[in-house]
Structure 1
Amino acid sequence: MSIPKNTVCLWFDKDAEEAATFYASVFPDSRVEAINHAPDDYPFGKKGDVLTVQFTVAGIPCIGLNGGPVFTPDEAFSFQIATDDQKETDRYWDAIVGNGGRESGCGWCKDRWGLSWQITPRTLTEAMMAGGDEARRAFAAMMTMRKIDVAAIDAARRG
């Protein structure tokens, strides 16, 4: 297996393998590639424990590090997943929130490991790129939402 030049490293307490397996089951172009065990004891684990998990999430190479409870994720880092329609938006949102995650606002949610996800329909991104009144209306509509309502964003875009 080749080692990518750039990899996103995600710190987990002890559940990197479970998280990687979950992500691989939910998102296309995702997979668990390697599970590496600790060669010796370390501050929050023992020899033979899962230390790192190499995986891909929607085409992005990642490594999950079981580093213990010292650091926890926050909203400064998130995965943004572009969706094509309400069905796809609902599928990803429901998978994350329905498996121990929680809703936030404006299309953001957190999974059960504390990682933030932006489930963003392409129509919302297109509205922001259009600028002007279309962007303003779509933005105002988005600000009232938790999970993005594609039909409401489309209606806002039209005015």
Structure 2
Amino acid sequence: MENQIYPCLWFDGQAQEAAQFYCSIFKNSKITADNQMVVTFELNGKKFMGLNGGAEFKFNEAVSFVIDCETQKEIDHYWKELTSDGGKEGDCGWLKDKFGMSWQIVPTILPKLLSNPEKAKNVMEAYMKMKKFDIKTLENA
């Protein structure tokens, strides 16, 4: 059996709250173990650990989670949920949730649009002006 690799997210006493928040947003998600120091959970079947490590370390954009979205409805869902309750919109599909974790909400069609030499420049110019991605605008760029 290969060793499983998964992220450990450092929280300032909010690991359980964060796990519950994330599990409420993603289908096929659950908390698998929980104690005062550590909570393990799965999001869409992928394992995560939340650690109540204290105030010493904070999240930053050096690490982000990418959510590939097939539809505008999916983009809208994740954007709304992850920016709720104090989350912050960023540029070009990026946001920070209320815990400070960075997320990229990306339409799966974007690489195809950017690989089209006739459209790539216009698509890039369009998405550089966006916060939340709009698939129709990108397709029509």
How high is the TM-score relative to the length of structure 1?
0.82
1:30 CA displacement:
2.0
Distance (Å, rounded) in 1 between the aligned partners of 2:103 and 2:75? 12
23, 37, 40: which is aligned to 1:54? 40
CA distance in 2, matches of 1:28, 1:140: 33
Q: In 2, Cα distance between the equivalents of 1:8 and 1:71? A: 15
Stretches of structure 1 that go unaligned for 5 or more consecutive residues are 37-49
| 1:92 and 2:91 correspond | no
Partner of 2:131: 146
2:29 corresponding residue in structure 1: 30
**C-alpha separation between the residues in 1 aligned to 2:91 and 2:69?**
17
Q: How many residues align?
A: 140
Alpha-carbon distance change, 30 to 125 in structure 1, aligned in 2, over 3 angstroms: farther
Q: Please give the TM-score of this superposition, normalised by the length of structure 2.
A: 0.92
Q: Which has the larger radius of gyration?
A: 1
The answer to whether the 8 A contact 2:20-2:31 is kept is: yes
Runs of 4+ in 1 over 3 A off after TM superposition: none
Distance 1:28 1:126 in 2: 26
Q: CA deviation at 1:131?
A: 4.5
Report the Cα offset of residue 141 of structure 1.
0.9
The RMSD of aligned alpha carbons is 1.6
CA distance in 1: counterparts of 2:111 and 2:101, whole angstroms: 22
State the shift of 1:33 in Å.
0.9
For 1:104 and 1:127, locate their aligned partners in 2 and report how far apart those are by CA, in whole Å: 22
The secondary structure found in structure 2 opposite 1:118 is strand
* Matched residue SS, 1:133: coil
Measure the CA separation in 1 of the matches of 2:72 and 2:23.
Answer: 21
Answer yes or no: is 1:123 the counterpart of 2:109: yes
- Displacement of 1:16 after TM fit? 0.6
Matches within 5 A, 1:108-119: 108-119=94-105
Contact kept, 8 Å, 1:92 with 1:119, in 2: the verdict is yes
Q: Distance in 2 between matches of 1:68 and 1:125?
A: 39
Cα distance between partner residues in 2 of 1:90 and 1:148? 9
Pair 1:137 & 2:122 matched = yes
